[in-house]
Amino acid sequence: MIDFSLTDEQKALRDLARDFAKNEIAPNAEHHDHTGEFPKEILKKAHDVGLMNLHIPTEYNGAGMTVMDEIITFEELFYACSGVSTAILANNLALAPVLLGASDEILKKFIQPMADQLTMAAYAVTEPGAGSDVAGIRTTAKRVGDDYIINGSKMWITNAGFADWFFILAKTDSNAGHKGMSGFIVDAKTPGIILGKKEKNMGQRCSDTRSVTFEDLKVPKWQMVGKEGDGFKIAMGAFDHTRPTVAIGAVGVARAAMDHSIRYANTRNAFGKPISVNQGVSFPIAEMARDIEAGRLLCYQAGWLIDNGYRNTYQASIAKVFCADMAMRVCTDAVQVFGGYGFNEEYPVEKLMRDVKIFQIYEGTSQIQRVIISKFLNDGVGIESPNL
């Protein structure tokens, strides 16, 4: 039986996230966009009300929620500001490989305390010379006795300046391709971690993105996530969990752009009547609604599959590329609906158009999602959902 209804708990979670977005994020979004200030206070409040790190298992004092629960939550948070919400989402990205591969010892030491206090985390995989081509990373981790010594540089690491710990992907065997990579969890205060300056980005300006350099960073071997050689599998496997939530973030931004467009089109007059009476304005808005609905269902499908034990890589990539490209188009159309005012920072859609671009780039570009989808199609799998 197909059932699209939310449970009572999910409805309560959605309402909590919606209220938080309306009362805590939206009123401060403009300030954080203009100043670029990291939204630490908002994150503290999000943690207090239980909107951070939703998928930490209950045995480690977490909420033990599903990807679907996260999808429902993130649509609401991103509706209010995707810059603030990316800081929350980036924590999930760092957590995902750790939850996939880490030992009980790591989970008790690093993850369990996250329930009690706001702890920020960062996923450090991309490098100055390798983003899409993860196998091209050059950071090395050399075994010396009971430790690994990590050297190299990472780039574009979200939350880096405020991270309490990093998930780091490094090469433990330079001759073994994908199988020569390993993941580590490392306390941010460990000597040998050097942070770059906060990058000034086009959008999501309060999200903290930096380069991070490791100089003879000494990490005890028990802090390896999974086994030696498991790093690539774990780091990429994380995306099956997080891409549906990034995709729904784009849906949230698109929904905000559509709501602004509807309001504006009904109040702005041209030629003696509201611009909304023209099909040239109302049809693009109708198409926004059509594509937002479709995008949300793709996210729900990708979330449902993984929550029910199916591999969802193909569906997660489809959700990510559809929602990212759709939201970019919706925000561009929203600027068009606003005319000259759409191009101005005193009106809301200019920020949305700047913010939304990154969805086509982070967590795998829109081209890379197409590469993944094509591979599945060429291999003859993934054309049908595995549950059909």
Ligand X SMILES: Cc1cc2nc3c(=O)[nH]c(=O)nc-3n(C[C@H](O)[C@H](O)[C@H](O)COP(=O)(O)OP(=O)(O)OC[C@H]3O[C@@H](n4cnc5c(N)ncnc54)[C@H](O)[C@@H]3O)c2cc1C
- The binding site for ligand X (CB under 6 A) comprises 90, 123-126, 131-133, 156-158, 201, 209, 358, 361-362, 364-365, 367-368, 371
Q: For ligand X, give the closer residue by CB, 90 or 149.
A: 90
Non-local CB neighbours of 344 within 8 Å, separated by 6+ positions:
350
Supply the minimum distance, in Å, between the C-beta of residue 259 and ligand X: 25
Residue labelled with tokens 């693009």: 284
Q: For ligand X, give the closer residue by CB, 249 or 342.
A: 249
Pairing of strands 121-124, 165-171: parallel
**Which residue's Cβ has the minimum distance to ligand X?**
131
Supply the minimum distance, in Å, between the C-beta of residue 378 and ligand X: 14
Q: How far apart are CA 150 and CA 168, in angstroms?
A: 9
Radius of gyration of the chain (CA): 21
Residue labelled with tokens 């094509």: 374
* Chain centroid to CA 157: 12
Supply the minimum distance, in Å, between the C-beta of residue 76 and ligand X: 22
Q: For ligand X, give the closer residue by CB, 159 or 261.
A: 159
Q: For ligand X, give the closer residue by CB, 27 or 128.
A: 128
Q: For ligand X, give the closer residue by CB, 168 or 305.
A: 168
Q: What are phi and psi of 195, to 5 degrees?
A: -90, 140
Supply the minimum distance, in Å, between the C-beta of residue 287 and ligand X: 25
For residue 22, give Cα distances in angstroms to 27, 69, 76, 199, 373: 7, 19, 9, 28, 36
Supply the minimum distance, in Å, between the C-beta of residue 206 and ligand X: 12
Supply the minimum distance, in Å, between the C-beta of residue 169 and ligand X: 8
* Coil/strand/helix, residue 103: coil
Non-local CB neighbours of 373 within 8 Å, separated by 6+ positions:
314, 317, 318, 321, 382
Q: For ligand X, give the closer residue by CB, 94 or 285.
A: 94
Q: How far apart are CA 246 and CA 236, in angstroms?
A: 15
Supply the minimum distance, in Å, between the C-beta of residue 261 and ligand X: 26
Q: How far apart are CA 124 and CA 186, in angstroms?
A: 11
Q: For ligand X, give the closer residue by CB, 371 or 381.
A: 371
Pairing of strands 224-225, 181-187: antiparallel
Q: Is 363 a catalytic residue?
A: yes
- Catalytic member of 215, 287, 363, 384: 363
Q: For ligand X, give the closer residue by CB, 210 or 260.
A: 210
How long, in residues, is the chain? Answer: 388
CA atoms 325, 327, 330, 334: torsion sign: negative
Supply the minimum distance, in Å, between the C-beta of residue 24 and ligand X: 23
Q: How far apart are CA 253 and CA 75, in angstroms?
A: 8
CA atoms 141, 125, 44, 205: torsion sign: positive
Is 326 within 8 Å of 291 (Cβ atoms)?
yes
Is 251 within 8 Å of 201 (Cβ atoms)?
no
| CB-neighbour burial class of residue 135 (10 A; exposed 0-12, middle 13-18, buried 19+) | exposed
Tell me the catalytic residues.
Answer: 363
